[in-house]
Amino acid sequence: MNNRGILICISGFSGSGKGTVVKRLLEKYPGEFALSISSTTRSPRPGEKDGESYFFRSREKFIKLIEEGEFLEYAEYVGNYYGTGRSFVEEKLSRGINVILEIEVQGALNVRQKMPGAVLLFMVPPSVEELERRLRERNTEDDATIRSRLEQARVEAESIDRYDYLILNDEIDKCVSRIRSVVDSVKVSTDVMSEEIKNIKIGLEEYLKKEGD
């Protein structure tokens, strides 16, 4: 059987709750999923620790890492670079652990090019009203910022149909179950099972050849 892990890209509007859902997924299925910690050139926000939220890098260092081929994908988003380290992802996948990338649209589409087996999920809140409520709940966002996040969401919505699955985040646990179901289905898809399909054909050929002798 194919024992490689599945690479899962999760994107969603700011306020879709993807961070909370991913945290719950990791807690609920220990050892099955790993979250990749990205590198970024943006400054840490209050409470963010280097090596936990992100690896915070200077622009010079980030460019050097690009040149050295360290990133599976990277993108520039609102003036800062963000990138996914290649070695962490490879190591986990080879050990059968599913890897989650919480990344924006351009990065997810780049991953699709480089890793055809990756599955792309787009997470949405139940309504625009709920999205706005979640953004307001953060308390840190003023009206103008909320407006600009909603406008950004409108741009991102244009790319949703390039994703594989739309994941509704109405309740955290329901949303976690939806992701788990998708991953379970992908694991038995004919794409992921191509090696097994080859072996079934070889097995039949060999059996019939022996019978014919």
Positions in the binding site for ligand 5GP (CB under 6 A): 38, 42, 73, 75, 77, 82-84, 102-104, 106-107
Q: Give 126: exposed, middle or buried? Use CB within 10 Å, 0-12, 13-18, 19+.
A: exposed
Residue of closest CB approach to ligand 5GP: 107
Nearer Cβ to ligand 5GP, position 65 or 176?
65
Q: How far is the CB of 44 from ligand 5GP (least distance, A)?
A: 10
Nearer Cβ to ligand 5GP, position 74 or 178?
74
Q: How far is the CB of 208 from ligand 5GP (least distance, A)?
A: 49
Nearer Cβ to ligand 5GP, position 116 or 212?
116
Q: What is the rounded CA–CA span in Å between residue 98 and residue 5?
A: 4
Written as six digits, the tokens of 30 are 């220990």
Q: How far is the CB of 200 from ligand 5GP (least distance, A)?
A: 38
* DSSP codes joined into one string, 121-162: EEEE-S-HHHHHHHHHHTSS--HHHHHHHHHHHHHHHTTGGG
In the block, tokens 């409108």 appear at 154
Nearer Cβ to ligand 5GP, position 84 or 98?
84
Residues 6+ apart with CB under 8 A from 186: 6, 119, 192
Q: How far is the CB of 41 from ligand 5GP (least distance, A)?
A: 10
